[in-house]
Amino acid sequence: MLQISELSKVYNTPKSAKGAARGKSEPTHKALEPLTLNVTGGQVYGLLGPNGAGKTTLLRCLSTLLTPSSGTARVGGFDIGQEPEKVRQILGVVNGGMGLYDRLTGREILEYFAGFYGMERSKVQSRILELDSLLELGDALVKRTMDHSTGMKQKIVIARAVIHDPRVLILDEAASGLDILARRALLDFVKSYKAQDRLVLYSTHVMDEIEEVSERAAILYKGRLLEEGTLEDIRARAGEKRLENAFFELVKAEEGRLVAS
């Protein structure tokens, strides 16, 4: 479902006038080191790492919002560079900062975005019913989003991302800012969404969320892949029983490697 081959992203610092006059090269920031990774469908795959680890950069490349500096990836069999429109057709994306149209109701937003995917009106209404059942949308469908709570808004954002039943769903810090009830609804939905022909990429820095929804994960740190595999294997390799402790041991080892080099 996901094939990543030597994918990297480097940001060049804009040249200053003084630097250009002196012929000095400006520093670059390696947001993502060359990464190779294969992920099968039928699972919720965790992507772990602190802020600045490269998680969001990777996900933005996979969703065709960023052009990688090198390498490529195939999402659902489609190349992100050669077939970006096909990638977008099978993709749903949720992050913590997505907004809504204040004057529209939740239902109106879902109907509007369903139009981008050419969905028939009858199909849209049946899909909204399904999502109402899964996400407990309730009043969020009939109220204008300006009157929504944070949890209600995030539920509509998630429903909007999956209105077309995408094969690949990207969740980037999707639980950020949610209260305990909205967070529970999100995690239950994530677990119910996985199927043999689907893949959920769940990116977060909250370890217990990954332990609840995922069986496999990749850990990124400062743009590098530190570890990948089942959660059980990751804990075993670090010699720890808890994923959070395993994460800190892996980070400590990486910092030691960086100092030595």
pLDDT (0 to 100) of residue 197: 85
Q: Are 92 and 170 in contact (CB under 8 A)?
A: yes
Q: Which residues pair with 5 in a beta bridge?
A: 72
Residue with tokens 């949610």: 178
Candidates 178, 179, 238, 189; CA nearest to 48 is: 238
Whole-model pTM above 0.85? yes
Grouped pLDDT means (10 residues each) for the chain, 261 residues: 97 64 67 96 95 93 96 97 96 84 95 93 94 90 92 89 95 85 86 88 93 95 95 95 93 86 75
Candidates 44, 190, 212; CA nearest to 182 is: 190
Residues whose CB is less than 8 angstroms from the CB of residue 160 and which lie 6 or more positions away in sequence, other chains included:
109, 110, 113
pLDDT (0 to 100) of residue 83: 97
DSSP three-state, residue 5:
strand
What are the E-state strand segments in the chain?
2-12, 28-39, 43-48, 70-75, 78-79, 91-95, 168-172, 199-204, 216-221, 224-230
Q: Which domains does the chain have, with CATH numbers?
A: 1-11+28-90+167-261 (3.40.50.300), 101-165 (no CATH)
Q: Are 106 and 137 in contact (CB under 8 A)?
A: yes
Candidates 232, 225, 259; CA nearest to 246 is: 232
Q: Are 48 and 204 in contact (CB under 8 A)?
A: yes
Structure tokens at 14: 């804009």
For 36, other C-beta atoms within 10 Å of its C-beta total 13
Angle between helix 121-135 and 150-161 (nearest 10): 130
